[in-house]
Structure 1
């Protein structure tokens, strides 16, 4: 009996769960599947005219604003993770160019240019469009993103004479003017003709009256009104088929427009890439993008009123029809024969497309992609200049920011975690190498500032990659050079952007980096930057597979062998610092007081005053010996007076930028702290060498767990090494095996 009750309860719970998900799914679809009568829709448009009176260019602008920007200024629309598409990182300038084009379209009232994303293969052109379409899908499902079209509803004869089906279900009709066929049940309908181009419902209102209504609704929103007045919503018309039905019904009802509009059912629709609703991609294979087909023999016509049965109605089909009021992507546009998209020139100018003599109005955001090879061929075509005026080219290069490049592969690394582990800095090392393959040496003639031109020509590929990634300034520069370079970073980044051979046009692609990650991950359970460099040493011999490996070197640039040498020194320097920090040979806290003391001394020196002691409160003489020692420790290369003045200026600027923040000198002078640490390391060289020897003995013990060989490592030395390994694992997130491997490599290369 108990078992029977248990089974009964389980069955009831399953039924309840089933009902719950059905109810939840139904609730979620209610808004998206909204149905209105025409009268109700006009009331809605009057209530929220800015949302209902917007062409596609304004709609897409609202998509950008709906998702907003991240604290860093990136458009969330593109960096948002989702199950259907990966985030697109590091292409902020591309997003800005797209958004600026949309603003221009909004001012014009329609999409009067074709946006063509141009770049090397694998530079995320398609991914950018995919994120835009995905954002449109999500936005169209929220209240402010609601989109409406309409269908023609024709009831069965018995309901035309009666009153059933004219009121909203569950409601009593209040007057004859509120009657509509919009809410008829399927059994009460003889035929439905949809609007294949998803015509806007407001186009059903005669143009002169519609213009008056829009002027009234948007009187309080002058900028929106200006946009709408230039758009098809203000002066346009419904499609040819809808116009034929409209006119035939109007004639049948002897000019009574209210009777015609009873047949209108306003329907909300959601943009869908999967089902080609307002988001469509045309592949490069040759086919017709838009066509018409006569439907006079369609069996639906037999159920239409007699006034419509004699009409030669046509069905509009193709990608342009499906994309209307949304986004149409031409993937690899320039792979198609030129004649296949010549119609775009006229469409951009007139907003219409001519189909067998029938002008069809389109409201589409046109965007496409092409690689550099096909663009070069296109520029040689005699019709290129005809197209150029209607196409806005936006360059989509490979990333030049290694920090952003790392984000591309984080998901891939996470998915491989069960079979291998990327140690700290390994992926960063690979991404820095990737960026270095995409860079050009600076040319002094490209800079108006002669000093800047001379300075940037001294940057090697690694220094340039680090400058682009995190504004890292080479330690070898003096304070004036660093200041000049820091304020000119954007000038350096933009140096080649208008040239044919721009940075990011060549080099290794993210697709190839992903393949490298898979290849490396198959070789072992652990990947350090040493493994990355070893792999790259072999990879650069694949010159038959990768064009960028065949570019003639220009000094350190386009020189893959030199890239590896630079990265090796850089990565060793990083791990050396981490190891020394773990050995307690560097104490960050001591540098704060050291810097404060120096600043106090040079402040008094500049002012010609004594120093007030923080301990005794008495005024004391300037410690000239300490000042000289400090400047020797940082290996000062310039005049002490200029350096001291620069330090005071830096502190003053920091105080102005952070008026209520206590000055932390190690944060303001990070480069000085690093230089002091290097100086300190030189002083502690003997200590480091001694510990390095202990580390060698410890590694021997690890490799000999059964203690077959005698160990020369003392207990104190062993404990010290174990503490170091704990710090490397805890603070810097190395595995024990990774820390030991890199420690051995560092000792071999540097000590």
Structure 2
């Protein structure tokens, strides 16, 4: 029997104490120098560490519209492990990582504020969250380890550097050049080279100077009073990861960024300019060696933005009552379009604009990527007791993407067709070059439209609004989407409302076509009947092309090829009468080519012919199945048996359950009953 004690014993067995000891390594300054000599990467800058962290997960090359895209597995594999998912914005992520790479190599972007810019719900916060989590995990790995130090205080306790500084800062400035040269000796260009960036924080500078005076200038003795330890970045512990969020201007000042005086300690140390009477706990202080995220950065008061100027350009901050202090951290902010436009129109913020690298994070414009966003939250594991009918998520995603696309200038191309082209579908008369041109003429695409959050909210509403239903279907979700538009906080004018409703109508029509096609294929999925129809058609085509007669399998008589049968098949795929000879010769040439290779003809290998045969068989069988009788609820036993067969095919082949398959058959039957069939 499982008991609390046995569970604890099992956990203790799985827990490796050696991992804890390795992560909490402590040693002397000399021990640390040995670590640096063996692995100089422990001294990397914040940008170098962040870039290496992303690259450590690997990359893959994919081609999209003839363009090579580098996909970073950090944003796929790692993100999936964290319960997040970023899909369909590979180009934006490439730009972001290239910016990190440039900053890591010291090409200038390390002196900029990185600004993720895009509409609400476009994954800006998700990207920042992943980067913070990634750094936390990376600092716990052998490849990502870094170190800081603490001071031995007169009472015997150890006081950590409040800004988690690099231990090499303890080397006096006048010795930097010689010391670094010796550390990097004999490395050549093959290995990472050590550099010392910045200097001691005010607290450590005073600790150092007091001990230097105590030992009469013998700085090596100062090092006996420090202890180096492994630094583990943690947002919760406020070590190397900071997050700043704007609040009420009256209750927030810049000391939240750069620290504030500890008034209780002024009496102890006699002055407010003693660093021991100061809390170096602002977000820019504690984020040193890592990353600080500014949520909605452009909503900050001007006083905060001035702090960002020095922090980004000079890598320095100005705590109250102290000199400028060096920092080494990635400054990452995010904002939306209205706030960014205000920045552009504010002539007083020219200095900030000049120090900003803007990276657009648009909405997804590829349907399959949008679907993946919702499937992460709405799947069989997450949605307990409810079946999500096929295409439910797809139609919601389709509408969301349509609201973000710019209407094409091409007269013969609809917005829905443009969506299909972006999704990888081929359309007659359009090539990959056309897709590239479509994207080029709409370079701001994805920066407007409906947020994924709205779609998620409405799918959730549909799930809880029908407690008696065991499944939700596309119509429930589409109704929720339409009903919510009137109260959508970001739709401010009637024209936009009307346009979005028109797009919903387009999606409904597309869904009707999808389910009609599925029901047609389910009805026509009788393999034997399809094979017989195909054989009959091929016999007649062969006789027609060779100018022969066909033997009637029932009477045994030889007759002219059945033109009516052949045309009834060919018309299903829009083969005009003037091209029927070409199509029939094409079929016979195809069969002949297979025979030369020793292969037998199968209609399934020819997509156009398979579609034509299925539509023909559906037309022949739909009247015998009497789908329209479903509408009147008058179904005889023989018809019910045939309907049950079709229903089982829908369940087996298309992912429906009993209830949703019945709903779809009833819906398609109502279409036929209204006479609204389309080719």
TM-score, normalized by length of structure 1?
0.72
Partner of 1:211: 180
Partner of 2:75: 78
2:403 to 434, 437, 453: 437
Write out per-residue CA displacement over residues 592-633 of structure 1, whole angstroms, 9 at most, x where no aligned residue. Answer: x99xx9xxx9xxxxxxxxxxxxxxxxxxxxxxx9xx999987
Distance (whole Å) between structure 2 residues aligned to residue 403 and residue 274 of structure 1 = 36
Partner of 2:636: 712
Q: Secondary structure at the match of 2:408?
A: coil
Distance change >3 Å, CA 109–CA 296, structure 1 → 2: farther
Partner of 2:129: 130
Partner of 1:581: 521
Aligned-residue offset at 1:297:
4.8
Distance (whole Å) between structure 1 residues aligned to residue 509 and residue 275 of structure 2 = 78
Alpha carbons 2:520, 2:618 under 8 Å: kept? no
Alpha carbons 1:123, 1:397 under 8 Å: kept? yes
Aligned-residue offset at 1:311:
7.4
Distance (whole Å) between structure 1 residues aligned to residue 264 and residue 399 of structure 2 = 64
Write out per-residue CA displacement over residues 457-484 of structure 1, whole angstroms, 9 at most, x where no aligned residue. Answer: 432222222222x21133xx2xxx23x3
Distance (whole Å) between structure 1 residues aligned to residue 58 and residue 124 of structure 2 = 21
Alpha carbons 1:35, 1:268 under 8 Å: kept? yes
Say whether residues 1:115 and 2:60 are aligned partners: no
- Return 379-388 or 542-551, whichever deviates more: 542-551
Partner of 1:323: 287
Write out per-residue CA displacement over residues 382-417 of structure 1, whole angstroms, 9 at most, x where no aligned residue. Answer: 123322221011122222122222222224323663
Alpha carbons 2:79, 2:130 under 8 Å: kept? no
Distance (whole Å) between structure 2 residues aligned to residue 663 and residue 106 of structure 1 = 58
Aligned-residue offset at 1:506:
2.2
Distance (whole Å) between structure 2 residues aligned to residue 275 and residue 87 of structure 1 = 26
Say whether residues 1:60 and 2:5 are aligned partners: no
What is the aligned-residue RMSD (CA, Å)?
Answer: 4.1
The 5 A counterparts of 1:102-501 are: 102-108=100-106, 111-154=110-153, 190-205=156-171, 206-216=175-185, 218-221=187-190, 224-225=192-193, 233-234=195-196, 236-285=198-247, 286-288=252-254, 289-291=257-259, 293=261, 297=265, 313=276, 315=278, 316-355=280-319, 356=321, 358-414=323-379, 417-443=383-409, 454=410, 457-468=411-422, 470-474=423-427, 477=428, 481-482=429-430, 484=431, 486-497=432-443
Partner of 1:36: 27
Aligned-residue offset at 1:580:
2.7
Say whether residues 1:88 and 2:108 are aligned partners: no
Distance (whole Å) between structure 1 residues aligned to residue 504 and residue 275 of structure 2 = 72
Alpha carbons 2:317, 2:326 under 8 Å: kept? yes
Distance (whole Å) between structure 1 residues aligned to residue 293 and residue 231 of structure 2 = 20
Write out per-residue CA displacement over residues 617-669 of structure 1, whole angstroms, 9 at most, x where no aligned residue. Answer: xxxxxxxx9xx9999875469998xx99xx9xxx9xxxxxxxxxx999999x9
Distance change >3 Å, CA 235–CA 698, structure 1 → 2: closer
Q: Secondary structure at the match of 2:412?
A: coil
- Return 736-745 or 206-215, whichever deviates more: 206-215
Distance (whole Å) between structure 1 residues aligned to residue 6 and residue 233 of structure 2 = 33
Distance (whole Å) between structure 2 residues aligned to residue 295 and residue 254 of structure 1 = 32
Partner of 2:472: 527
Alpha carbons 2:269, 2:277 under 8 Å: kept? no
Distance (whole Å) between structure 2 residues aligned to residue 666 and residue 63 of structure 1 = 52
Distance change >3 Å, CA 312–CA 357, structure 1 → 2: closer
Write out per-residue CA displacement over residues 545-600 of structure 1, whole angstroms, 9 at most, x where no aligned residue. Answer: 441773459xxxx7234323322332222222322332245869989x99xx9xxx
Distance (whole Å) between structure 2 residues aligned to residue 236 and residue 109 of structure 1 = 18
Aligned-residue offset at 1:327:
0.6
Distance (whole Å) between structure 1 residues aligned to residue 156 and residue 601 of structure 2 = 81
Distance (whole Å) between structure 1 residues aligned to residue 118 and residue 436 of structure 2 = 21
Distance (whole Å) between structure 2 residues aligned to residue 29 and residue 395 of structure 1 = 41
Alpha carbons 2:116, 2:333 under 8 Å: kept? yes
Say whether residues 1:735 and 2:657 are aligned partners: yes
Aligned-residue offset at 1:532:
3.2
Distance change >3 Å, CA 34–CA 215, structure 1 → 2: same
Distance change >3 Å, CA 545–CA 419, structure 1 → 2: farther
Partner of 1:504: 446
Q: Secondary structure at the match of 1:368?
A: strand
Distance (whole Å) between structure 1 residues aligned to residue 571 and residue 650 of structure 2 = 31
Partner of 1:101: 99
Distance (whole Å) between structure 2 residues aligned to residue 590 and residue 496 of structure 1 = 48
Q: Secondary structure at the match of 1:216?
A: coil
Alpha carbons 1:436, 1:462 under 8 Å: kept? yes
Write out per-residue CA displacement over residues 81-128 of structure 1, whole angstroms, 9 at most, x where no aligned residue. Answer: 568653233332222121011011022167211111112222221111
Unaligned runs of at least 5 residues, structure 2: 63-69, 543-562, 591-597, 674-679
Distance (whole Å) between structure 1 residues aligned to residue 601 and residue 503 of structure 2 = 34
Partner of 1:684: 617
Distance change >3 Å, CA 319–CA 663, structure 1 → 2: farther
Distance (whole Å) between structure 2 residues aligned to residue 740 and residue 15 of structure 1 = 51
Alpha carbons 2:650, 2:661 under 8 Å: kept? yes
Write out per-residue CA displacement over residues 183-235 of structure 1, whole angstroms, 9 at most, x where no aligned residue. Answer: xxxxxx6132321111101222231233213432642436x44xx6xxxx435
The 5 A counterparts of 1:601-750 are: 635=574, 673=607, 675-684=608-617, 686-693=619-626, 695-697=627-629, 711-714=635-638, 717-750=639-672
Write out per-residue CA displacement over residues 657-695 of structure 1, whole angstroms, 9 at most, x where no aligned residue. Answer: xxxxx999999x99x72x4445335533541431451x4
Aligned-residue offset at 1:350:
1.6
Q: Matched residue pairs, number? A: 606
Distance change >3 Å, CA 211–CA 391, structure 1 → 2: same
Aligned-residue offset at 1:358:
0.6
Q: Secondary structure at the match of 1:123?
A: coil
Partner of 1:617: none
Alpha carbons 2:43, 2:166 under 8 Å: kept? no
Q: Secondary structure at the match of 2:157?
A: strand
Distance change >3 Å, CA 256–CA 539, structure 1 → 2: closer
Alpha carbons 1:207, 1:235 under 8 Å: kept? no
Alpha carbons 1:549, 1:560 under 8 Å: kept? no
Q: Secondary structure at the match of 1:684?
A: helix
Distance (whole Å) between structure 1 residues aligned to residue 264 and residue 492 of structure 2 = 59
Write out per-residue CA displacement over residues 307-344 of structure 1, whole angstroms, 9 at most, x where no aligned residue. Answer: xxx97656423111110010101101111122221122
TM-score, normalized by length of structure 2?
0.79
Distance change >3 Å, CA 292–CA 385, structure 1 → 2: same
Partner of 2:38: 47
Partner of 2:550: none
Partner of 1:176: none
Aligned-residue offset at 1:248:
3.0
Distance (whole Å) between structure 1 residues aligned to residue 526 and residue 53 of structure 2 = 51
Distance change >3 Å, CA 382–CA 412, structure 1 → 2: same
